Structure 1
């Protein structure tokens, strides 16, 4: 048995905060005895080791929702019986789980006592069940797909959320469309059973698609209500990485928890633009390197700087206003000072950016964009760390690092840009470990950050993904968008892309031959069509995948990508356009600055550590929910709209509205160890079926669900191919 957390009685020595919630439940519980039962806010996941239950546990992990996992493939696992599912605490009957996830509608042997125990438990306490991936068959309220529907590949399918799924349904945060991925013509990625409900079944379809070769639509996700029980029936295969799952995952969790749960999920998008006020060296399409940078041997080529213009600033401001989106500009003040020195004191770019100061957010990117790790020996390619006479690594000093930080901060304040002095992104994320040259942080970096009161330090997601302390700062990993800093024109971007991603046999560098997990292009891209036809859709889909994954980490490009051909915008537009096609206005993109992203990551880490160590308990009794967590750990929760936090002398709204519910972080009021929340009454929804279905005892004796097919693209993610979109 794998546990994301465990229920425990806290000793008197453990400092706890208590969250009390009074609420009207969205569904009327079947349990009618007195006293009202206690229902723990914990999900039971019964897994067969397949990708569907794996995807759901990944979603619960990402949201911070506690669960207990039982792996049916493990010997010696706990037996699921009445004692495992329920007991009594202080004279109050307790249901230990608020929802049950099964790999299919009945993964146990025929006549299983475990399935009978689950059915009785769900009926007694009104506990919803999710069938993670199952056949369409009468046991789940659907006609057999083999005789009246369709079973097979649904790669590229355009499914739709029904009217019942939208509005007050579990998928009301979506616009309507649920596209299924089709990344490779050579790999089967998704498999589904499409059929309609059986006659007389109390079945509501939430997501459906046309049945190939037949008239009408078939169900992919729907709710089957029978004998006082509710099942969410999912009839398509998926893994945690696929877009169709990411779109529907929130709704599945909302449905199973009835929008009363620990944890939260939102869609985030932030974009940093590095090197503002400075210039970026240009790629040389003949030399296949960047004169002036470390990839070109000294003396080769002619340096050519790419730098924004006032017209680019006006375009960026207009773009932000049209898109309702704010860019974060990472600035190097030394770039402007140097430019003025070489242009009789004039810098029209700096003047334009200063005039538009309030249209952007600003982040310290160091004064001169100096490399702050080891001192670089650039006489060789690739460069190496310089060494001291004793052979030890020679590092940039603490004084130099501190000067780069403080000089930039002083300069930007002299022109009155609105900055937050505790945010920093070093040039090339330097100072932090970089393999293979520098396997550890510059030891002078941490004390320099502390001395300059830096609280948040940008890091490269590909090198340093997990948040960690560096001196007094916490890192904020950033996703690089694969649009190059040294390209201002489309032709330069495509030429460098071809050099990196084509094999030696195709005339490329061969880096893709040598690097693990890197796929070479079958042939060089066309400079005329390769950018719009391959690079833009590929980078759009990669970034959108991060956005749909409840991941607040920012993305970054460079100022060179906002000038000349302005090659950065097509990718940003692609993400925003696709998002608005997929999501309803109730689920807007959350666009945070770096320090707020860092705080979100910090709070999530503390919450998850408390959950996994069993220091969080939560339960509902009637109209109240109680959550206990260690002192100093904020509680994250998702609750129905209208929830209010009761404070001394009044009340205030809890959380923020998002995707049809409210969610946020809550801590005890100072001087209190409890926080009380009151929810607006919600209309009760009867669980009695409209027609007679098999009883729980009858269903428990039916044959288990057949093993559903799992295509290769579900068992193993299929690399995205732009040509297939």
Structure 2
């Protein structure tokens, strides 16, 4: 059994019958307010190893929502019985899980006592169940697909949120739910489209047109029956697919009633490096970048790319139109040197300073110097220079400190709205970089302390996790595949072809040599169309995937990409236009500066450690949510609009609910839910009802969830 964001196993010694009798049967000697049981804010995820339950677990994990996972394929897993699911605490009936996620509507053997226990638990405490991916059949509230429905690929399908979904758990979406179709030769999405079974209390939340008919079939819907509620999902997915990422928030909202630990946002931040400096241009003849240490051809002459004042005006206008702010990481020496070479004039710096309040600014060091080991460039690739005793020759503490301090002074003199504790070093240097430099420059941490730096950018492709460097915490950044040495689309395509085509096609063969991390193009891109038709859509898709994954890490490009052809904007517009087409106005992109992103990541790490350490107690009794934990810990929580904390509105409004981080001050955090969110009282007490067994026929090609059939049992009605 694997536990993620979990604590210790939950067990008691009571038998199923004894526990149910103790919890729900009339005449129990219990408190007068037993009609309002305690429901712990934790989700039970039962998995068979399939991608759908893994995707839901990943969503809970990213948001910081505690859950316990039971792997049905493991012989040493706990048995799910009444004692595992519920008990009493301080004389009050307790449901240990606020929701149940199953691989399908019934993943257990025929007449399983575990499914019986789950069904009775759900009735008793009004606990919802998510069927992560199930076959459309009457047991799940849907007609068999052969009766006017559809079974098959839904690649490229445009699904829609229904009116019930818009007014319910998926109200943060604008309506459209496009299914990915990334390859004509690979099946990416399989689904069962069907209509509600005769007499079923079934409400579709997301549906799509049934091919060859005028009807629409459910992909996600709620089935109410036998005192239970199930969210029935009839398409297969994984955690990375856009269709799941769009619906994940609503699945969690439905299963928790909008009340749960954890919080999520859709983040997008873009850092523009090397502002005021110039970036050396890719040479399409030499297939290298003159000015770089690995471009050793004697004919290599640097050809700089540098923004103009007109590019600044374009950036300002673009931001105003988009309602989005770029973070400019600047190198002041670029302007100082330019003025020396141009009789004191630098129209670019003048315009940037005049519009300084339109942007956020980050110290990127004075000259963009490499701040790790001293580089020996007599070999390709470069290596660290060494002292006579063979030890590494490091850039000094004073040199590192000067790069930080001189740049800050220039920015302060220019009146830039800086956050003095943020830093992006040139090429993320000073931090370890493999294979040449296996450790941080030991002088980096002390130099950061000398200058009060507490947030230091790192390269997510090298180090995806946060770590401490002296007094600073790293903030991993996503490199966008819009190259620093390209100001024109044709240059970008030429270098892209060099990297991503085989030697036989005229490329470098890098993709051939690194198949685990790089995929070769089937053919070189057309220089005239390759950027718009291939690179832009791909980069848009990658970045939008980060935005939809509750991932606050910033992306970074370079000032060269805002100059000349301004090749960054089609990618950025693609991300924002794509987002706007999918989400309602109540779910805007969250655009944070670097230190706020670092704080978010650090709070998540502290929260995860507290939950995994069993330090958090959180539960709901009627309309009151109580959260207990270590004093000073920041707690993420989500609750419906109208939720109050100490008489004031809790959190911030986002995606139709209230959510945010709140520090525990030593006493328990108490939230008062609005009356509309308070469940009806009562603990049930009916005897366990029979649970339908899965159809016994095998599932073809793993398209159908294990244990159900892709055929209509004999005698089934139409």
Q: TM-score when scaled to structure 2?
A: 0.92
Give the match for residue 42 of structure 2.
Answer: 42
Q: Tell me if 1:472 matches 2:471.
A: yes
Call closer, same or farther: CA 1:546–1:66 in 2, change over 3 Å: same
Q: Is the 8 A contact 2:372 2:430 kept in 1?
A: yes
2:21 corresponding residue in structure 1: none
* Count of matched residue positions in the alignment of Structure 1 and Structure 2: 679
C-alpha separation between the residues in 2 aligned to 1:260 and 1:449?
A: 42
Partner of 1:654: 650
How far residue 385 of structure 1 moved from its aligned partner, in angstroms, is 1.3
- Secondary structure of residue in 1 paired with 2:627: strand
Contact 1:165 1:172 in 2 (8 A): yes
* Equivalent residue, structure 1, for 2:616: 616
Aligned 8 A contact 2:106 2:693 in 1: no
Q: Is contact 1:229–1:687 with CA below 8 Å preserved after alignment?
A: no
Given that residues 151 and 192 in structure 2 are in contact (C-alpha distance below 8 angstroms), is that contact kept between their aligned partners in structure 1?
A: yes
Query: Does residue 1:527 correspond to 2:523, yes or no?
Result: no
Q: Where does 1:619-634 land on structure 2 (aligned, <5 Å)?
A: 619-634=619-634
Q: For 2:691, which of 679, 699, 715 is the aligned residue?
A: 699
C-alpha distance in structure 2 between counterparts of 1:179 and 1:207, whole Å: 11
Distance 1:598 1:6 in 2: 25
* Aligned counterparts of 2:689 and 2:404: Cα–Cα separation in 1: 70
Mapping 1:628-643, distance limit 5 Å: 628-643=628-643
| Distance (Å, rounded) in 2 between the aligned partners of 1:449 and 1:324 | 33
Indicate the SS of the match to 1:77.
coil
Match of 1:149 in 2: 149
CA deviations on 1:393-418 (whole Å, 9 max, x unpaired) are 21111111000000100111111111
1:283 CA displacement: 0.8
Is 2:676 the partner of 1:682?
yes
Preserved contact between residue 298 and residue 378 of structure 1 (Cα < 8 Å): no
Question: Matches of 1:197 and 1:176 in 2, distance apart?
Answer: 21
Matches within 5 A, 1:414-563: 414-515=413-514, 516-563=516-563
Please identify, of 404-413 and 651-660, the stretch whose mean Cα deviation from structure 2 is larger.
651-660
Residues in 2 aligned to 1:476 and 1:608: alpha-carbon distance in whole angstroms = 18
Q: TM-score, normalised by structure 1?
A: 0.91
In 2, are the aligned partners of 1:499 and 1:509 still within 8 Å (CA)?
Answer: yes
Q: Tell me how far 1:32 sits from its aligned partner.
A: 11
Is residue 219–residue 235 contact of structure 2 (8 Å, CA) maintained in 1? Answer: yes
Inter-partner Cα distance in structure 2 for 1:696 and 1:277: 72
Secondary structure of 2:690 counterpart: helix
What SS does structure 1 have at the residue aligned with 2:105? Answer: coil
How far apart are 1:613 and its partner, in Å? 1.8
In the superposition, relative to structure 1, how do residues 706 and 325 fare at CA in structure 2: closer, same or farther (>3 Å)?
farther
2:164 counterpart SS class: coil
Q: What residue number does 1:78 align with?
A: 78
Query: Which residue in 1 is equivalent to 2:89?
Result: 89
Which residue number corresponds to residue 341 of structure 2? 342
Match of 1:565 in 2: 565
- Structure 2 distance, partners of 1:479, 1:73, is 36
State the shift of 1:178 in Å. Answer: 0.6
Q: What's the secondary structure of 2:166's corresponding residue?
A: coil
Deviation at 1:652, TM superposition (A): 2.6
**Contact 1:498–1:508 (Cα < 8 Å) also in 2:** yes
Deviation at 1:6, TM superposition (A): 4.6
1:486-506 Cα shifts (integer Å, max 9, x gaps): 111111111111111111010
Deviation digits for residues 401-453 of structure 1, max 9, x if unmatched? 00000010011111111101100000000111111111111111111111111
The answer (yes or no) to whether the contact 2:273–2:330 under 8 Å persists in 1 is yes
Q: Distance in 2 between matches of 1:507 and 1:4?
A: 47
Aligned partners of 2:618 and 2:627 also within 8 Å? yes
Cα pair 2:625 2:672 within 8 Å, conserved = no
**Shift >6 Å, 4+ stretches:** 683-688
Structure 1 position 403 matched with structure 2 position 399: no
